[in-house]
Structure 1
């Protein structure tokens, strides 16, 4: 017999630990490689648990692939490990800086 107010009697919904979920429990779609490129990233950084990291250029990746899922296909060239995370490399600057807007804002403030 199920006690009132304790939630559903079935097993809990299994969630993917590589995804985010909203308050209603719906999966939030992660950023894609194309989305990272459009927002000014230089490429995708992959980092191993041994702290070795590498930059993957966008040309080697599928545009519709999720940034977090890039790590699933990688193996560390230093230690051979597979405990790898992936994220956009923002060291190239944000989109507004790449378009020259930061330079315009700086020159206007000195007038």
Structure 2
């Protein structure tokens, strides 16, 4: 008890901060904030499918010491994109969210 699960909306952060500050003044609100698993899957799959993750990795390529490791990651992501593995995970979490038996 004492933990709050919700998505990343700013209003949820504000609400959780107010509740915890009022009820548990000696506890840091960030320690009691949990993201829902479905929301994390959705953010991950969406950012991957939209190419945001790849853009972040490309930005980091400017670091010479990390170029080889980043290239391996980019190659791996390019290899997996056509297989639909991430699309399947994204669709599965969508199905779970819409299911009446969750």
**Higher-strand-fraction structure:** 1
Fold shared per TM-score above 0.5: no
Larger radius of gyration: 1
Higher helix share: 2
Shorter-chain TM range is under 0.3
Q: TM-score, normalised by structure 2?
A: 0.24
